[in-house]
Amino acid sequence: MAAQPVGLKRFYAILGAVAVAGVGLLGYQLSKPSTVSIPANVTVQPSDTAGFHGYVMGSDSAAVEIIEYADYQCPFCQTFATLQMPAIEERLIKTGRLRWRYRDFPLQQHPYSRLAAHSAACADEQGKFWPQHEQIYEGQPEWSASRDAAGIFRRYAREVGLDLDRYDACMTSHKYAGRIQASLDEGTRLGVSSTPTLVVGGRLYQGRFDSDAIIRLVDSLAPRAAAAK
């Protein structure tokens, strides 16, 4: 077999190097952190809140309602959501005694809290708010320390069964930024200053909570709530 001319060998070497560089660039583009971000302090439009009053779990006929203002990146909120809420859901919400209303209250010091809230809102669009909500809280140690929180939230979206094309379009459109801002503004007007904060019958409860304390509170309020109807 005849040897290839030196010039041809050099051409093939350059072509190979270009191909390798192209593969490397493609890999970088696929693996680099997402640049999705959700704007803060947006002007809230009437359409942002029309018909929306928080994410609700429980019966409309429950005697007691608790509104929770929380931040997905808040460690105390994460502990409450993962350790206390399962018992509250099982003993109070599923039994029809309590209606739970979740409201976003993203704190300024938490850079990914609005992004997390928007991810959950986009999941709500597909009827999957609570599964995504749980995934985000359970995964807080992972995404709060990552440079690619948006990519992690997208992975959660895939795991809970969302249509990713719809989810991606929702996230990049920032369509729920106004809803999140409105929730924050509402909480501020009520006097919320930290998370988690619970609002029960117009009264604010701030700090750490456990399921037993919530059960006792509902027990004390239920007779009065029933009598007021």
Q: What pLDDT does 27 receive?
A: 44
Helix (H) or strand (E) run with residue 132 in it: helix 129-138
* pLDDT (average), residues 172-194: 97
The two tokens of residue 220 are 């004390």
| Mean predicted confidence (pLDDT) in 156-176 | 98
Considering the segment(s) 46-228 as one domain, its CATH architecture is: 3-Layer(aba) Sandwich (3.40)
pTM for this model (two decimals): 0.83
- pLDDT at residue 19 is higher than 60: no
Q: State residue 209's pLDDT score.
A: 85
Q: Tens digits of per-residue pLDDT, 105-116?
A: 999 999 999 999
Per-domain residue ranges for the chain? 46-228
pLDDT at 228 over 70: no
Measure the CA–CA gap between 205 and 33, rounded to whole angstroms.
Answer: 38
Mean pLDDT confidence for 56-62: 97
Secondary structure element (H or E) that encloses residue 199, with its range? strand 197-200
User: What token pair was written down for 176?
Assistant: 């729920």
Instruction: Please give the average per-residue pLDDT across 27-43, as a whole number.
Output: 67
